[in-house]
Chain A
């Protein structure tokens, strides 16, 4: 079945450091890929998405490129801030056929940014 694997966390960085959170997936067909973020005490928020190969999603300085050849969707940010401290979830979505919009999530990566 479909699956998503994220790099093990937690990740601890100093402010202004470069961030990469790795995400790889296994799926048949052509899924859409997402990064969701969960800030402390809040729900899941969509951070960015990509719906086809080579698409780049971006938002709030974060970027991720849909790489079909490596089945990856790594999240990057050039300069993190303390306010980026949160849990980040990679997810895939397949729709059509027998799937009705079910998201498959990775295990989440806790990011802590220190001043």
Chain B
């Protein structure tokens, strides 16, 4: 069964460093998303991406964040100059179309120290 894969599963980084979280969405999906879940809190939407551009982003997704689809299979989330409060589980998701259910990866746990 096709699945969304994320790497790494856990990343530890020092405050102020840049990190890149990687995702391989399901191959025939067209919409891509990043969500995050700070420990003990809700899963929060960060950004959606379609046709090689951001289609919607939340207030959380400020200039510190960027997304890219560098080739036909990968979808990345870059966090510049990480802060302690960026520590969270980051989920990538993809869907076939607008309004269809999203399939999620297993998540990357980011710990900023």
The residues of A with any CB-CB pair to B shorter than 8 Å are: 32, 34, 36, 42-46, 49, 89, 91, 93, 95-96, 98-108
List 10 A-B pairs, minimum CB-CB distance, nearest first.
A95-B99, A43-B106, A44-B104, A100-B55, A105-B43, A100-B56, A95-B98, A100-B48, A43-B104, A102-B45
* A103 and B55 contacting across the interface, CB-CB below 8 Å: no
Work out how many contacts link A and B, with CB atoms closer than 8 A: 66
Given A43-B91, A44-B91, A45-B104, CB of A101 within 8 Å of CB of B48: yes
CB-based contact B102/A101 at 8 Å: yes
Query: Is the CB–CB distance between A98 and B56 below 8 Å?
Result: yes
**Residue contact A100 to B31, C-beta cutoff 8 Å:** yes
Q: Is the CB of B99 within 8 A of A46?
A: no
- Residue B103 CB within 8 A of the other chain: yes
What is the interface size of chain B, counting residues whose CB is below 8 A from a CB of the partner?
28
In the complex, chain B residues whose CB is within 8 Å of the CB of A89: 43
Set of chain A residues within 8 Å of B101, measured between Cβ atoms: 34, 46, 49, 93
Beta-carbon contact of B91 and A101 below 8 Å: no
**Beta-carbon nearest neighbor of B32 in chain A:** A101
Q: In the complex, which of the residues B31, B41, B105, B106 has the most CB atoms of chain A within 10 Å of its own CB atom?
A: B106
Provide the bound-state CA to CA distance between A95 and B31, in Å.
12
Which residue of chain B is the closest to A99 with respect to CB atoms? B56
Docked-complex contact B99 and A32, CB < 8 angstroms: yes
**In the complex, chain A residues whose CB is within 8 Å of the CB of B103:** 46
A34-B101, A43-B105, A96-B98 are known contacts; what are 15 more A-B pairs with Cβ within 8 Å? A32-B99, A43-B91, A45-B104, A91-B43, A96-B99, A99-B56, A100-B50, A101-B98, A101-B99, A101-B100, A102-B56, A103-B35, A103-B93, A105-B35, A105-B44
